[in-house]
A and B are shown apart, each in its own frame.
Chain A
Amino acid sequence: MNSNLFSYIWQHTRRDQIWIIGVILISMPFLFLALDLPKAIVNGPIQGRGFMTPDATARFLELKFALPQWLGGSNLNLFSGFELSRMGYLVGLSFVFLGLVCINGLFKFYINTFKGRLGERMLRRLRYELVDRVLRFPMPYFKKVKPAEVATMIKDEVEPLGGFIGDAFVQPVFLSGQALTAMIFIMVQNIWLGLIAASIVLIQAFLIPRLRKRLLVLGKQQQLTARDLAGRVAEVVEGIGEVRTNDTSNFERADISNRLGRIFFIRYELFQRKFFVKFLNNFLAQLTPFLFFLIGGYFAISGSLDIGQLVAVIAAYKDLPGPIKELIDWDQQRQDVEIKYNQVCEQFSPQPMITAALQAPTPGVVANLSQPLAVSGLTITDDTGTMVLEPVDFALAPGEWVAAVGEVNAGAEITAEALAQLVPPTAGHIRIGDQPLDAISAAVTGRRIAYVGPDTYLRNLSIRACLLSALMNHPQRSLSGQSGLKRDLEEARASGNSELDWSADWIDYDRLGVADASHIDKRILKALTLVEMDDEVFEFGLRSQPDASASRAIETPILTARAALKARLAKASIAHMVEPFDPDRFQNQATIAENLVFGAALSKEFEAENLPRNRLFLDILAENALDQQLYDVGRKIAATVVELFADLPPNHPFFDRLSFVKPEELPTYKTMLARLGDRDYVAADKTDRGLLLGLALRYIEPRHRLNLLTDDIRTLIIAARRRLIERIRAGKSATVAIYEPEHYNVGSSLEANILFGRIAHGLADAPNKVHQAIRETLVDLNLRDTVLEAGLSFVVGNGGKRLTQAQRQKLALARALLKEPDILIVNRGLANLNPRNQRAIMAALAKAKPKARPKSGTTNEVGTVEKKPRMTVFWVLASPALVELFDRVLVFHDGRITADGTPAKLMDSSKQLKRLVA
């Protein structure tokens, strides 16, 4: 990065800057004319100079130059103009004035737009360059930077730079031109008034920057404190678990309060000073007209200055303080942004950066890394200077499976990280064939080497997208049309941004050997099965609720499964364990709310807790005489609950089983019941009605067993349900997905769609048996893959937090396998699984040799394009007992390799290995 802001700007915007300065210079004479014209109007037609007689005329728009003496001294007549009367002359001049106003305005408009675009382009370039640099930072540097601070710098701190860049060269030229024009004009009119104006300007130029020095310091402090605040807030969010488990939230509050306080005082002082400077500026600006009136008036009265000149001077002076002030502003801004720019430059220039060439976009197929990987004299010291890896030497033959074992941090982990280029070697080399690893382009290492560490960062995407993200190395085929793209592309080029098409399909299907997106899921499932994550994804799929477009494809199979499940339950004589949804019958296992709405809510107002406030719902209840009935049910529930629980202490274990009300709400119900006495529904007020209705709506007879539902109420509920369904169907938007036995329900999960009913309460083991039956049904119908594919849409949460750590590890391994790498490096990648599962996965992996596939290749840097050999594996084992699955074992101890050989041999000879396995 160019360390000087001005040369950075000049380097990228030279042509534009010269152009706009040219335009500004051209605009100057017009500005001068617009200043001069009022004088001509006042003195000429208004005051009558040159129109001594009523019918006198003057030449309008006459263009005539007196040639200098050395050119002959004659008059050059370009345009003889029109002959106009005094009135006509006034009209003519006024229109010329209007024309000049328009021209000047248009110049300003063009210049400002051009400057704005210039600035925005440079801002875009700068931000892009900063992110590009982040992508090329040396790995150890990431230990020191706080993500939120980097983000703040890129997002907020360079923003004023963008504004300034447009003005960097233009503003001083433009403003000083403006000010100079006005100044010269005033000077020409009257030298004394000119001197007054000039001296005030000099005072301004001297005083204001001095006053503003402190402002700059404050501005910088404000920036640093705000950046720190962003970093702190991010820390709190990332470490919220620690904050909660240690009850340090109040310390965080105090810390944030303290920081905000500091920012407050900085900003407060900033404002005070800013407004004082403003006051002074305004005062000085107003002082000049005062002097003009006084002194200019004196000259005018004494006759040495005509009124027209005085008016013109005062008008011209209007244009003087503005540019001067802005010029001073510009200079302040310059100092300010130079400081900022230098700060940002410093932060974004850690050495040694990865060269841009290594990360250059590389289309097509890259060569296989089919030569041995050799490590020689590899030494690593950490940032405290401690040697964590003494010189180690070893080689991995292509296709060889090597396990690295040792105590935690005995050197195996750091070796794996060095092989993945996550840690730079302090000394020594890693080579593939005869090429140093760090000289091989990222396109090759990133596609041919896979690394799985103990924790993997997952973006908040679906499982499918997470897995495919590792295959997004280069845009493969454009998805959008060409229109609109061209503009984007040109603009990207103008600001030196990446010209790769973001919206294209980036997934390299060829590399996976599948034709297109529709076949990709099969490959993903294969990888997930290999890492034993298929069952979990299956459960995600069952609980998922596919969106409208995805559900259309699976409607038919799911309905088939619904019928098949029914048959299976009947065959196993457990049909009574599920009560199906039947529009004409009361659903005993569901709440009254569910019985009435009889569907899955798609909009908030039909969710159970909002029903007591749902206008349509309340109307239906009233129309079907259910409002009073449910009020009575609610009241009985409230009475029972209050009667049973009122004198229990709030933390009594019985409260755990109370589903209707929270312990702290009990007093509310108690006082309400007392207040209501034996008043009936009509006499009760709206709030009480709502509360009691809410209780009634949550009631399930077989579960709560209060014997509150009569056949009469059930009949009324079914009638009300029918009316409500009609009204919902007649409504404009889909608010409820109604349960229909012959149709797929878009508001329910796959599992709920297959079950299409409720599991009966109070039957031993019913949930397990029914769930088991659902799973068996799907397997029988060959629908397992369909559900698995739905499960691939499960969104993993921020950083993958909706998954367990073991699931994240399995997902990371699956992603690595999907790449079909030549070299697989695993660094305690399955450490969170139990050893039995680790063994099963590794054994499956050893069996699943990738099939040979000829590749049409491009030129290669390393190795040759040939049929695919078995992948090389370097695996730092969390469970050393698994060494037997490998060809060779490296035993690490105290940063050194102490044994190297086949597992069978080392189990006999290496004491360390024996101890680790034991």
Chain B
Amino acid sequence: MSIQDEVAVLRRIPLFAHIDAQKLKLLAFTSERIVYEPGQTLFLQGEEGDASFVIIDGQADILVDSPQGPVSVAKVERNAIVGEVAVLCDVPRTATVKAFTRLDTLRVTKAQFLSLLTEFPELTVEIMKILALRLTKTSTELSQARSRLLALERPSA
């Protein structure tokens, strides 16, 4: 797969939808293409985050540490981007990501990612949207979880 194909993949990613092809080509050109075999780790929860990954092909597993060991919380597949939170907020990785199938990725370093953000306000807005959506989703899930927890506690009280 060449840069041109990668640009085609990048264009299909909602986050990059509004960025012109030229810049996506630059992004692809300066990024490293990495293939993971099933079970290989992209990054571990708690690590320092130095890059995010655009999934070009395959499926990845998102795992979160729990008292019972790592638990799979979601699967992501092509056209998704993972690892961007740690890059954006300078926090340790919030989850572990492993390849579920053979996984083809484009590794975008922190410096590249941040410079894209400063150059393309559209991209920043996109990121905000995504993060806001995630926040909404998480809040909804949280309130649902709370009410279920309450429901569980009430009979015993």
Contacts and interface: CB of A to CB of B under 8 A. Distances in A.
B33 A762 contact: yes
A640 B2 CA distance: 13
B34 A640 contact: no
B22 interface: yes
B30 A705 contact: no
B2 A645 contact: no
The interface size bin for chain A is 20 to 34
Given A640-B29, A653-B111, A707 B3 contact: yes
A180 interface: no
Contact of A707 (B2, B36, B112, B114): B2
A658 interface: yes
B26 interface: yes
Interface in A655-707: 656-658, 702, 704-707
Interface in A33-68: none
B112 A654 contact: yes
A764 B22 CA distance: 27
Interface string B90-132: 0000000001000000000101101100000000000000000
Contact of A762 (B30, B32, B37): B32
Contacts of B72: none
Contacts of A705: 1-3, 6, 28-29, 33
B26 A656 contact: no
A765 B42 CA distance: 10
A763 interface: yes
Interface in B1-57: 1-4, 6, 22, 25-26, 28-37, 40, 42
B33 A644 contact: no
Contact of A654 (B26, B34, B35, B99): B26
B29 A644 contact: yes
Nearest to B2: A707
Given A653-B115, A762-B35, A658 B2 contact: no
A204 B61 CA distance: 103
Of B2, B25, B30, B33, chain A has the most CB atoms within 10 Å of the CB of B30
A764 B30 contact: no
Given A705-B33, A707-B4, A643 B22 contact: yes
Nearest to A657: B30
Nearest to B28: A705
Nearest to B3: A705
Contacts of B111: 653, 656
B34 A762 contact: yes
Contact of A652 (B25, B32, B115): B115
Contacts of A658: 30
A658 B112 CA distance: 12
A764 B36 contact: yes
Contacts of A761: 33
A654 B2 CA distance: 19
Given A653-B115, A654-B112, A765 B35 contact: no
Contacts of B25: 644
B35 A764 contact: yes
Interface string A745-775: 0000000000000000111110000000000
A758 to B, nearest CB: 16
Contacts of B30: 654, 656-658
Contacts of B115: 652-654
A764 B3 contact: no
Contacts of A654: 26, 30, 112, 115
Contacts of A653: 109, 111-112, 114-115
Contacts of B1: 705
A652 B36 CA distance: 29
Nearest to A647: B22
Contacts of B33: 702, 705, 761-762
Nearest to A761: B33
B112 A763 contact: no
A26 to B, nearest CB: 89
B49 to A, nearest CB: 16
B98 to A, nearest CB: 11
Interface in B71-86: none
Contacts of A644: 22, 25-26, 29
A646 to B, nearest CB: 10
Contact of A706 (B3, B31, B42): B3
Contacts of A640: 29
A652 B99 CA distance: 32
B40 A764 contact: yes
A763 B35 contact: yes
Contacts of B4: 707
A231 B81 CA distance: 61
A475 B2 CA distance: 67
Interface string A78-101: 000000000000000000000000
Contacts of B35: 762-764
Contacts of A656: 30, 111
A442 B151 CA distance: 89
A764 B26 contact: no
Contacts of B22: 643-644
B94 to A, nearest CB: 21
A704 B4 CA distance: 12
Contact of A657 (B2, B31, B36, B42): B31
B50 to A, nearest CB: 13
A657 B112 contact: yes
Contacts of B6: 705
A644 B27 CA distance: 9
A640 B26 CA distance: 9
A764 B39 CA distance: 11
Contacts of B99: 764
B77 to A, nearest CB: 17
A215 to B, nearest CB: 66
A24 to B, nearest CB: 83
Contact of A645 (B26, B28, B37): B26
Nearest to A707: B2
B29 A764 contact: no
Interface of A: 640, 643-645, 648, 652-654, 656-658, 702, 704-707, 761-765
Given A653-B109, A704-B29, A706-B2, 12 more contacts: A654-B112, A654-B115, A657-B30, A702-B33, A705-B1, A705-B3, A705-B6, A705-B33, A706-B3, A764-B35, A764-B40, A765-B40
Interface of B: 1-4, 6, 22, 25-26, 28-37, 40, 42, 99, 109, 111-112, 114-115
Across the A-B interface, give the 6 residue pairs with the lowest CB-CB distance, nearest first.
Answer: A707-B2, A653-B111, A657-B30, A764-B36, A644-B26, A762-B33
9 contacts: A644-B29, A648-B26, A656-B111, A657-B112, A705-B33, A761-B33, A762-B32, A762-B34, A764-B42
